[in-house]
A = this chain, B = another copy of it.
């Protein structure tokens, strides 16, 4: 399978991996597993049940809903099966769910409420923080036509983020509906695709350019500081005012935002329908006890995936964080979702109302790592091994410790005392146990408390003094080993 034009790699050059597929170490894996456990726990508490599908689906069953469709595989990893049908690795957990629901048909019973956690794959250009494999954790309700089902997704998403430790003000879930924006566009007479795109692009710059700059872009056009000119969307003055009023409708409470939107969206069918959606969602959010600060209505939200048909939700971390490299990061989007009433209809012809929420587990775990919130886990007690030919004593002692519930290992390498001590340090061991010939003869073990030893060693000046004092080191009868180790590990907690 190697490229015929280049010689096959050998030696160290072989030891490389594709970009965008990171290896994960202890603390990140632990953080990720904790996130999955906590979030699926919340989903379960809200009545959802587990359903997991496999990595592969037939490519045509997945459909093409990714925004990245200017690449040959439209953003997915695809491969031909033995019978030359194309299979793709899933790019999210929603499209496979729609296939499952369509395949199960009437036998499934509805509503069907499921949760799932697992990796998804996107064949995109990898970059810093942009992975090609990442975990998501989803909940979906299939067969729920009412917008209270959307509100449930949103309120549950907020609860899940609180459950993993996000305080009020550290995150927000923004809610919008595609109909509202369509209504506004209809209302200002923006019917051509070009004009609508120009308006969307202008609105996307509100944060950066402010209302004045965006007004120029919505109207005749705008010259920036470098002298570059951007052609405007060509709206008249009153239309510009209405679009801006819409984009700036966000207020302190969901009720105020809705009141502003009523003024801004005017009289179009789509706009009115969108307001009905958002009003129903706001009312249900109230009943579900979703705090105002956690969930806001925000007319600027647009989700990238193309299968959404109504309300869309976007979860964002608000905290700015400083990474180990001293740079400031904005974490940004860590999840979202929306209503996708037509996704099952691709298969069955019948519209099946559906809504779902997805949390980006890898994104959130990476954020926790940047924020310094991943835990450094305790290492095992290491029983040093002084007899390479017969490690029986070390194996027995480690077994004894483990049977007492203590995380422990007998040293497994081929090195002498000093590297074994270094190994224990590197593993963040709370203590090491040593049994040499002396100890064997006396029926004792020597224990070194590595944390106390390090503390005491700071006060010691010379190597000679160190060897004399042996800080943190003491000898106990073998029968008292477990008790002595337990004291050390408990003191270090």
Residue numbers of A with Cβ under 8 A of B are 1-3, 8-9, 11-12, 14-18, 21-26, 29-30, 44-61, 73, 77-79, 81, 84-87, 89, 99-100, 102-103, 109-111, 113, 119, 121, 132-133, 141, 143-146, 148-149, 151-152, 283-284, 286-289, 346-349, 377, 379-380, 382, 388, 390-393, 395-396, 398-399, 402-403, 407-414, 423, 426-427
Q: Which residue of B lies closest to A411 (CB)?
A: B111
For A377, list chain B residues within 8 Å (CB). Answer: 49
Complex Cα gap A132–B408 (Å): 36
Contact B11 A23 (CB under 8 A): no
Q: How far is the CB of A311 from chain B (nearest CB, A)?
A: 14
- A51 touching B78 in the complex, CB below 8 Å, given contacts A2-B86, A396-B287, A409-B46: no
Shortest 10 CB-CB contacts between residues of A and residues of B: A47-B409, A21-B54, A47-B380, A15-B102, A287-B395, A144-B412, A15-B347, A29-B50, A15-B103, A287-B392
Name the contact of A152 in the complex, choosing from B17, B44, B410 (C-beta under 8 A).
B410
Contact A288 B11 (CB under 8 A): no
Complex Cα gap A407–B113 (Å): 13
Contact B16 A58 (CB under 8 A): yes
For A54, list chain B residues within 8 Å (CB). Answer: 17-18, 21-23, 133
Complex Cα gap A18–B426 (Å): 46
- A414 touching B23 in the complex, CB below 8 Å, given contacts A78-B1, A349-B11, A426-B109: no
For A87, list chain B residues within 8 Å (CB). Answer: 18
Q: How far is the CB of A431 from chain B (nearest CB, A)?
A: 13
For A407, list chain B residues within 8 Å (CB). Answer: 44-47
Contact B51 A24 (CB under 8 A): yes
Complex Cα gap A345–B264 (Å): 68
A26, A100, A148, A413: residue with the most chain B Cβ atoms closer than 10 Å: A413
Copies in the complex: 2
Name the contact of A14 in the complex, choosing from B61, B396, B427 (C-beta under 8 A).
B61
Q: Which residue of B lies closest to A21 (CB)?
A: B54
For A393, list chain B residues within 8 Å (CB). Answer: 287
Contact A133 B55 (CB under 8 A): yes
Contact B399 A287 (CB under 8 A): yes
For A408, list chain B residues within 8 Å (CB). Answer: 45-47
21 contacts between A and B (CB under 8 A): A2-B60, A14-B61, A16-B58, A23-B53, A26-B49, A46-B380, A46-B408, A47-B409, A48-B409, A109-B426, A110-B413, A111-B423, A144-B414, A146-B412, A146-B414, A148-B395, A148-B412, A152-B410, A284-B395, A287-B391, A287-B392
Contact B17 A58 (CB under 8 A): yes
Contact A412 B113 (CB under 8 A): yes
Contact A17 B412 (CB under 8 A): no
For A23, list chain B residues within 8 Å (CB). Answer: 51-54, 100
Complex Cα gap A2–B74 (Å): 13
- A12 touching B58 in the complex, CB below 8 Å, given contacts A46-B402, A111-B413, A412-B111: no
For A85, list chain B residues within 8 Å (CB). Answer: 3, 18
Complex Cα gap A55–B73 (Å): 18
Complex Cα gap A25–B60 (Å): 24
For A11, list chain B residues within 8 Å (CB). Answer: 347-349
For A9, list chain B residues within 8 Å (CB). Answer: 60
For A382, list chain B residues within 8 Å (CB). Answer: 47
Contact A50 B79 (CB under 8 A): no
Contact A410 B56 (CB under 8 A): no
Contact A113 B409 (CB under 8 A): yes
Complex Cα gap A346–B49 (Å): 45
A16, A44, A86, A349: residue with the most chain B Cβ atoms closer than 10 Å: A16
Contact B86 A1 (CB under 8 A): yes
For A149, list chain B residues within 8 Å (CB). Answer: 412
- A16 touching B61 in the complex, CB below 8 Å, given contacts A50-B26, A100-B23: yes
Q: How far is the CB of A320 from chain B (nearest CB, A)?
A: 29
Q: How far is the CB of A11 from chain B (nearest CB, A)?
A: 6
Complex Cα gap A262–B52 (Å): 51
